[in-house]
Amino acid sequence: MGMVAALVRSAFLVNAVYAESSREHGITPQQGQLLCVLMPGPCGMGELGTMLRLAKSSLTGLVDRTERNGLVRRTPDPQDTRAVRVALTPRGSRLAAEFYEAACARIDELPAGLSATEREVLAGLLGRVVRDNKVPPVFAEPDEGAAGGRGH
């Protein structure tokens, strides 16, 4: 299999795991992404749009739906009275942790057929691709826990 096909199929594989974990937790995959992004702390709408690569209208709809489910809340931005920050509610924080743990466990099983050395090489190469393409920090390292900050 070539590189392009391997990367595309890998993305589909991870997306399928994300969708399965989301379904089991009663949320959409997009809500799961939003919850994971918010685990380190509140974010402004602009920052969320950049990290999730969503247009403003799509992001607003996602936050609205997630807020109606009681998982996030909007709070005034102390730096800018015209802006809001989005934060997890206590219920959202619990669900985010459960979803995150389930998704991490499933994703960690995907390369189960690789040796420890092969897994390290794969992680190193994929990490380089992610860094080189300046992918926003949308998912914390499992060993850091979700409170590891935004530098993941």
Domain residue ranges of the chain, discontinuous segments joined by +? 3-134
| Cβ-based neighbour number of residue 7 at 10 Å | 13
- What pTM value is reported for the model? 0.83
DSSP state at residue 41: S
The predicted-structure confidence for 43-60, as pLDDT tens digits, reads as follows 999 999 988 989 999 999
**What CA dihedral angle connects 110, 152, 93 and 145, to 10 degrees?**
70
Give the CATH fold of the 3-134 domain. Answer: Arc Repressor Mutant, subunit A (1.10.10)
For CA atoms 77, 50, 12, 7, give the dihedral sign.
negative
Share of the chain above pLDDT 90, in %: 76
- Per-residue pLDDT, 141: 72
- Per-residue pLDDT, 148: 41
- Per-residue pLDDT, 144: 53
Average pLDDT of the chain to the nearest whole number: 89
Q: How far apart are the C-alpha atoms of 59 and 45, rounded to whole Å?
A: 8
Between the alpha carbon of residue 135 and those of residues 4, 77, 129, the distances in Å are 18, 25, 9
The predicted-structure confidence for 122-140, as pLDDT tens digits, reads as follows 999 999 999 999 887 777 7
